[in-house]
Amino acid sequence: MRFYFQLSGPSPVSFTLSPSNHAEVPVNKLIGVLAGFLVISSAIADQNDFRCLKSIGLKSPLKLQFVIQTDKDDSGYVIYRGGSGPISIKRLEEKELTRVPGGRPSEFETQWREITSDGTGGTYVFVSQGALIDDFRYIRKDGKIFRFEEDPDASTDKGCEWATK
């Protein structure tokens, strides 16, 4: 019995093997396709999830790159434009705010704490629904709040354009 494959479903790596009347694909080509998917998947997994953000309402806007490590999703770092280097962050809490019907992503609020040697680190709080960030703010240790919005024009394949130079 010979097997044929057909790509199906919403994911580019989703496929089914089944006997059919479609064109024959030799097993060695199928193995090559699967190996290619594995290489691409592992390359994507090595990348960190980052967002480029800019402050709202300040005369001289702050810009930051917020990075969540994909291999350890409870830690990451923040890089400020003009800053001295990355500031480590640790996820404190994540709570579901709104469950959305119809299979759409729920809305979550996530809190992250800066890890600093002198203990002066503040807290980042953001509300997101899927890939969309609805609200992002930084709460300094003294209580001052800085609001941010996404800066899609600053985003490159490797990070925020000002952070990769």
Query: 32 with 95, same domain?
Result: no
For residues 38-55, average pLDDT? 62
The rounded mean pLDDT for the chain is 77
Q: What is the pLDDT of residue 102?
A: 82
For residues 111-136, average pLDDT? 91
Query: 31 with 83, same domain?
Result: no
For residues 79-104, average pLDDT? 90
For the entire predicted model, the pTM comes to: 0.67
Q: What is the pLDDT of residue 29?
A: 52
Better pLDDT: 158 or 26: 158
Q: What is the pLDDT of residue 164?
A: 65
Q: Is residue 165 part of a domain?
A: no
Q: Is residue 10 part of a domain?
A: yes
pLDDT band (50, 70, 90) for residue 26: low
Q: Is residue 79 part of a domain?
A: yes
For residues 14-43, average pLDDT? 44
**HEC states along the chain?**
CCCEEEECCCCCCCEEEECCCCCCCCHHHHHHHHHHHHHHHHHHHHCCEEEEEEECCCCCCCEEEEEECCCCCCEEEEEECCCCCCEEEEEEEEEEEECCCCCCCCEEEEEEEEECCCCCCCEEEEEEECCEEEEEEEECCCCCEEEEEECHHHEECCEECCCCC
Question: Residue 124: pLDDT above 50?
Answer: yes
Question: Residue 160: pLDDT above 90?
Answer: yes
Query: 31 with 72, same domain?
Result: no
Query: 32 with 65, same domain?
Result: no
Per the structure, the count of domains in the chain is: 2
Point out which residues pair with 61 in neighbouring strands.
none
Q: What is the pLDDT of residue 163?
A: 75
Q: What is the pLDDT of residue 141?
A: 93
Q: What is the pLDDT of residue 35?
A: 42
Taking the C-alpha atoms of residue 58 and residue 147, their distance in angstroms, rounded to an integer, is: 9
Question: Residue 57: pLDDT above 50?
Answer: yes
Q: Domain containing 68: what range?
A: 49-160
Query: 19 with 80, same domain?
Result: no
